[in-house]
Structure 1
């Protein structure tokens, strides 16, 4: 089971993920399923909402998440740049 499938199971449905992330429709999540990954900007929020049970690395392996975490922690942006 890949990261997006784990997230669907955790939240209960594609619609539930869309709701908690403030997306326009579950169809956005369907696109992620087809693509096999989550866009990088949503990964940290999913990781946070799942208490790190589903990590960014599981949602999108094309990003160097170790670097992102190190950069954010050094610059005080540990919560998605907020």
Structure 2
């Protein structure tokens, strides 16, 4: 199952490696996110920032977006 938000984020960043660099993770971590692996809350806002807000927290995971708003 491909995570469409991460797929879009990779496209915006230019590659899995570039998104990884912007988020401070390894490329295999981005591959895992892309293929349905869990995304830790601490990386959601890094992905949002890496895409200049083109990807929103609620695009990545609606449940995580609610948690971020509550904090």
TM-score after normalising by structure 1: 0.68
- Equivalent residue for 2:31? 30
CA deviations on 1:35-57 (whole Å, 9 max, x unpaired) are 16533211111112322210011
Give aligned pairs, total.
69
**How far is 1:67 from its partner?**
4.9
User: Which of the pair has more CA radius of gyration?
Assistant: 1
Counterpart of 2:22 in structure 1 is 20
Secondary structure of residue in 2 paired with 1:62: helix
What secondary structure sits across from 1:38 in the alignment? coil
In structure 1, runs of 5+ residues without a counterpart are: 72-82
Greater RCO structure (CA 8 Å; 6+ sep): 2
Unpaired runs of 5+ in structure 2? none
In the other structure, the counterpart of 1:69 is 69
Greater fraction helix:
2
